[in-house]
Structure 1
Amino acid sequence: MTRAHLLAGLAAIALLGGATATAQRRAMPENARVYILWPPDGATVKGGFWVRMGLSEGGIAPAGIDKAMTGHHHLLVDADLPPLDQPIPNDRNHLHFGLGQTEARLDLPPGRHTLQLLLADENHVPHDPPLASKRITITVLP
């Protein structure tokens, strides 16, 4: 086997293993915290409501912007925290606010739902230590 074949094989293994490979995690100020401003825990809301997201002692920057001590919000809807050493998934349970949004309108089906914020860096990787809000429970009315 030539060196080129060996390097190509190692590159293929790295690509295949990329989903489970750990990412470099960035720091945030020790006293930084994220929180849900609205709705409050236990709230009953009508469909089509606003979620307002907060961050103290850190900065908000859009995805792709490499700036120290910043990140952007991800809202976990009816989901547990994802692996904290990998990029946060992007699906209906892991909502990305990569433009730096601090509020968003949600349309959830009627019933009980949980919401939790997780701040992540420019590559959607949670910080070290992770900045996650308290998980709240809301009831959505039709």
Structure 2
Amino acid sequence: MAVPVIVLGRSGDTRSASGAFLAPLGHPLMERKGDMMPLYLSRFSYTPETWARLIGHPEDRAKAAQSYIESVGGKLHGFWYAFGTHDGYNLWEAPDNVSMAAVALAISGGGALSSFETTVLLTVDETMDALRKAERVQYRAPGA
């Protein structure tokens, strides 16, 4: 079974056959414009106890995740469960790193997860800017 992922491509379709979200070039998720806030990708895994509770009392955890990010002025763009290294993935939009960190700390401190990792996502334009700035960095390897 394929793991649902965010696929950014040229397709005009909004969903692939696997259920992955397809964001065409020029889509707001591809380029941060206007009021678009930074994007964050989280990977999480539940504890065995959490899975047991969910089996006994099924619950749509996307609704909970949405309320967490909205409490800091952000938006949930997606919530997926998966097979593999992680049990699920979230795509969030938050006003800033501190706001996203607050959500991550609250979730991690809740005890229901065995792991929770968040990655700040950069647009292509932001990466191009970083590449241009990297050219001016005078890096020296350790011990060189």
Instruction: Give TM-score, length-normalised by structure 1.
Output: 0.28
Higher strand share: 1
Larger RCO (CA under 8 A, 6+ residues apart): 1
Bigger proportion of residues as helix: 2
TM-score normalized by the length of structure 2? 0.28
